[in-house]
Structure 1
Amino acid sequence: MRFQRYLTGVAIAALLAGSAVAQTAPQQPAAAGTLNPAAEQAPPAAPAPAPQFQMADGVLATVNDSVITGFDLSQRMLLLIAMTQVQPTPENIPAIQQEALNALIDERLQLQELANYEDLKVTDEEVNQEIAAMAQEVGATPEAYLSYLEAGGIRPQTLREQVRTQIGWQQLVGGRFQGRARVSKGAVDAALRQLSEAATKKQYLIGEVYIEASRVGGQQAAMNGAAQLVQQMVQGAPFQAVAQQFSAAPSASRGGDAGWVVAGTVNPILQAAMDQLEVGQLSRPIAVEGGVYIIYMRDKRDGAAASLVQLKQVMIEMPETATEAEVAAAAQRLEALRPQLTCDTMLQRATSEQGLLGADLGEADVQNLTPQFQQVARSAAVGTISTPVRTPLGLHLVAVCGRRAGGVEAPDPRAVENQLFRQNLANLARRYMRDLRADALIEYRQ
């Protein structure tokens, strides 16, 4: 709950201050309109009147044996607006309503699933502690915090119910899937290798909002909703809070924080948009298959200037004047030997066979290698052995035994492991929710 609590606090702090919270990036010429700079701290202002919704009375939907009423939906819409600072307009009310209804359906399914675990009970004290922590982070007492929401038409019980369900659901997911979400050493090592290799490429620190078409009524509805969100964020709605409430991307729980994205690893349509955005800019809606993205460019960095590789080799000495037949025979011998070699065994093997020379070339900048070795060093995966490489000195098998970016701090293995664990847990939780929805009887009343 900690990060979500912070995001909620950001939005409510802005409400209590009577001013919009800006995105934390330099102001730049806009791709979709410049994000507003942070407003000066203002004295607390009176809350805006609660928006009026023309909601149908009675039951709007049933989720198995649980009902969602028009009052439930209007309360959740008011809370969604308060948390995101997205101002209701005739154009965006349908999107807010749909998002609030989806959230209520998920919450009803979560409550029904929690009821199957009698030993998992969230106490009033746990709820009070969470709300107190939310209030403390914006410099308010719990009473003032809830009173402000109530002045905007939101019952305190609405927030308490949502907090209670979120605490219980996180406890259930954590307890049920913690073992399955654990990360193997091999997965951590692979991620560390990928990070080291990616450090030489251009990278983008982005925030993302993904509107899934199937959840909002189709691709055009997703485009319209995304356009409204862009407009609201340009006018001051905090990106993180909007992402948390509206985004269907895995990063939604982190306020849309997608971290550093490596050039060439994303959808080409998104890549093109990221190339055009300057730091501090918000993209226009970007249509992709299945939905629409909004990208916020938080930072950019070029790849490290130096790419360092650890190389070992086995070679057959051969002058430049060697005949084609001699080169072919040497190549055939090395090709037969290659499947038997690894970075750990190749030097020992070279010393045990006549006519072979082995050498540990150590760590070197790729740019300082001979042209014949540069291609292998840049393209070969760590731990692989090249095909025979011809140089003026002879014929070589080159092993890439390590790669890292020069001048870049090595990633912390524990931090990488924790990140992978959180990703695994989030993926398992989403799959859990999809299964609950697939098995549920959900009926909508007109």
Structure 2
Amino acid sequence: MRFQRYLTGVAIAALLAGTAVAQTAPQEPAAAGTLNPAAEQAPPAAPAAAPQFQMADGILATVNDSVITGYDLRQRMLLLIAMTQVQPTPENIPAIQQEALNALIDERLQVQELANYEDLVVTDQEVSEEIAAMAQEVGAAPEAYLSFLEAGGIRPQTLREQLRTQIGWQRLVGGRFQSRARVSRGAVDAALRQISEAASKKQYLIGEIYIEAARVGGQQAALNGANQLVQQMVQGAPFQAVAQQFSSAPSATRGGDAGWVVAGTVNPTLQTAMDQLEVGQLSRPIPVEGGVYIIYMRDKRDGAAINLVQLKQVMVELPETATEAEVAAAAQRLEALRPQLTCDTMLQRATSEQGLLGADLGEADVQNLAPQFQQVARSAPVGSVSSPVRTPLGLHLLGVCGRRAGGAEAPNQQVVENQLFRQNLATLARRYMRDLREDALIEYKQ
């Protein structure tokens, strides 16, 4: 739901509490269960009655000069429960309360920061349009959607206030950091090279939830919370909604979608869990330094993407019947020439010296190249010139002038640039919120 996108900057903190099954019981499989596929598409069912929370009605906290009351907190807890379908229990109510309080504190800070920009105004019409879009995505009319919330004890104004703040915050972040989040051509090229190099390796399409221990009271609290969340998701709470509300990973903005992860590029503990999970399975809590992960295995593949390489060559023609002395002389000449060559100068140099031939071999699938060329095409660094390679036609120096992943799933330059831009913007937004918290006067009332 689009609503969850706007919640990302607000709810990236504390989790519920539970046990570390994967670590304390290694004899058990990594999979904790299979998610309910229908839960990802179906609108949540309204609770028969609003959960009852015991808390004071007065002021619970102040954020600079803004107050948070018991009523505010109860409304946010109800909204959190409705959107994630994490069922309240006596064990997890205190942690849900802490999560909601953290979200409210962040929202108060955002409202105060937005007040510094008088021209940044979110109209009632824009909020109504967002609610209409949310309702449409679950196949309901806006009135029916708001009625669902009211049936759970949530006043429509609670949703409207939160949406207004989050729409404004997204605009502020985008306007303030757009130039700083821009991606250089070098960064895009480096990312494309990494994608190409990973194309032949095993890959995992995963969803992730990361519980940061420092935000929830320590590693044990993170382990406990992860275990309870796993139980809730196996019972039907949608993974995407839970990740949006509870994960502190950057992928929380995308419902926990971490995309394709290449084997060998993650923490060894996570790698072990991913190897054990079958498609559609959810891991038990996976402790790592600083927190706990939950992994949802969406898909796997064995690196079926096509590797495309751009080659140029300088060669000395030699028949298969050439003597060893002739081959050695040609190799010596090419080796002496090789340090002077680049992809930009190879063809020009070949045409300027007698006995040399130059050619731009263009872009080709590595598997379609001559067997003698394939090793260089796969492993030589981009921009390098190889040692002499013998073929039935002669001796060749190969310049590896470009390499990329091909096939229908291979991202192009624009797609990669957009992905990196979004990642940069999300990082800057998190730092912005961190700085606001550090500078704020936040007091909790007993």
Instruction: Give per-residue Cα distances to partners, 1:250-279, cap 9 Å, x unaligned.
Output: 111111111222222222222222122111
Checking the alignment, whether the CA contact within 8 Å between 2:199 and 2:306 is kept in structure 1 is no
The one-letter amino acid of 2:108's match is R
Distance 1:36 1:332, change over 3 A: closer
Match of 1:75, SS? Answer: helix
Checking the alignment, whether the CA contact within 8 Å between 1:251 and 1:257 is kept in structure 2 is yes
Checking the alignment, whether the CA contact within 8 Å between 1:219 and 1:291 is kept in structure 2 is yes
Percent of paired sites with the same residue: 85
Checking the alignment, whether the CA contact within 8 Å between 1:85 and 1:238 is kept in structure 2 is yes
Cα distance in 1 for residues equivalent to 2:262 and 2:377? 20
The one-letter amino acid of 2:130's match is E
Cα distance in 2 for residues equivalent to 1:105 and 1:420? 29
Deviation >6 Å, runs of 4+: 5-8, 41-46, 317-320, 323-328, 392-395
The one-letter amino acid of 2:304's match is A
Q: Does 1:333 align with 2:336?
A: yes
> How does 1:336-415 map onto structure 2 within 5 Å?
337-338=338-339, 340-354=340-354, 356-367=356-367, 373-386=373-386, 388-389=387-388, 391=390, 396-405=396-405, 407-408=407-408, 410-415=410-415
Deviation at 1:298, TM superposition (A): 1.2
Cα distance in 1 for residues equivalent to 2:427 and 2:157? 30
Distance 1:320 1:407, change over 3 A: farther
Cα distance in 2 for residues equivalent to 1:42 and 1:222? 29
Deviation at 1:117, TM superposition (A): 0.8
Deviation at 1:325, TM superposition (A): 9.4
Cα distance in 2 for residues equivalent to 1:441 and 1:420? 34
Instruction: Give per-residue Cα distances to partners, 1:39-77, cap 9 Å, x unaligned.
Output: 7x9999763221122224433322222222222222211
Distance 1:390 1:120, change over 3 A: closer
Deviation at 1:158, TM superposition (A): 1.6
Checking the alignment, whether the CA contact within 8 Å between 1:307 and 1:365 is kept in structure 2 is yes
Q: Which residue of 2 aligns with 1:274?
A: 274
Q: Which residue of 1 aligns with 2:117?
A: 117
Checking the alignment, whether the CA contact within 8 Å between 2:203 and 2:263 is kept in structure 1 is yes
The one-letter amino acid of 2:345's match is T
Checking the alignment, whether the CA contact within 8 Å between 1:91 and 1:228 is kept in structure 2 is no
Q: Which residue of 1 aligns with 2:170?
A: 170
Cα distance in 2 for residues equivalent to 1:45 and 1:427? 35
Checking the alignment, whether the CA contact within 8 Å between 1:7 and 1:255 is kept in structure 2 is no
Q: Which residue of 2 aligns with 1:15?
A: none
- The number of equivalent residue pairs is 421
The one-letter amino acid of 1:133's match is A
Checking the alignment, whether the CA contact within 8 Å between 2:5 and 2:253 is kept in structure 1 is no
> How does 1:180-259 map onto structure 2 within 5 Å?
180-259=180-259
Deviation at 1:322, TM superposition (A): 4.1
Match of 1:430, SS? Answer: helix
The one-letter amino acid of 1:123's match is T
Q: Which residue of 1 aligns with 2:25?
A: none
Deviation at 1:146, TM superposition (A): 2.2
Cα distance in 2 for residues equivalent to 1:144 and 1:413? 43
The one-letter amino acid of 1:147's match is S
Checking the alignment, whether the CA contact within 8 Å between 2:3 and 2:134 is kept in structure 1 is no
Cα distance in 2 for residues equivalent to 1:105 and 1:207? 27
Cα distance in 2 for residues equivalent to 1:189 and 1:430? 26
Cα distance in 2 for residues equivalent to 1:256 and 1:131? 22
Instruction: Give per-residue Cα distances to partners, 1:378-426, cap 9 Å, x unaligned.
Output: 222322223x346478765421123344644543443333323222222
- Where do 5+ consecutive residues of structure 2 fail to align? 9-28
Q: Which residue of 2 aligns with 1:136?
A: 136
The one-letter amino acid of 1:227's match is N
The one-letter amino acid of 1:140's match is A
Deviation at 1:167, TM superposition (A): 1.1
**Which of 1 and 2 has higher RCO (CA within 8 Å, sep 6+)?**
2
The one-letter amino acid of 1:62's match is T
Cα distance in 2 for residues equivalent to 1:34 and 1:44? 19
Cα distance in 1 for residues equivalent to 2:328 and 2:363? 34
Checking the alignment, whether the CA contact within 8 Å between 1:304 and 1:406 is kept in structure 2 is no
Q: Which residue of 1 aligns with 2:21?
A: none
Superposition TM-score, scaled by structure 2 size: 0.83
Distance 1:159 1:7, change over 3 A: closer
Match of 2:76, SS? Answer: helix
Cα distance in 1 for residues equivalent to 2:248 and 2:88? 21
The one-letter amino acid of 2:118's match is E
Superposition TM-score, scaled by structure 1 size: 0.83
Q: Which residue of 2 aligns with 1:262?
A: 262
Cα distance in 2 for residues equivalent to 1:328 and 1:60? 81
Match of 1:360, SS? Answer: strand
Checking the alignment, whether the CA contact within 8 Å between 2:6 and 2:163 is kept in structure 1 is no
Checking the alignment, whether the CA contact within 8 Å between 1:6 and 1:137 is kept in structure 2 is no
Cα distance in 2 for residues equivalent to 1:305 and 1:241? 31
Cα distance in 2 for residues equivalent to 1:42 and 1:166? 24
The one-letter amino acid of 1:321's match is E
Q: Which residue of 2 aligns with 1:321?
A: 324
- Does 165-174 or 258-267 show the bigger shift? 258-267
The one-letter amino acid of 1:58's match is G
Q: Which residue of 1 aligns with 2:285?
A: 285
> How does 1:20-31 map onto structure 2 within 5 Å?
31=31
Checking the alignment, whether the CA contact within 8 Å between 1:372 and 1:389 is kept in structure 2 is no
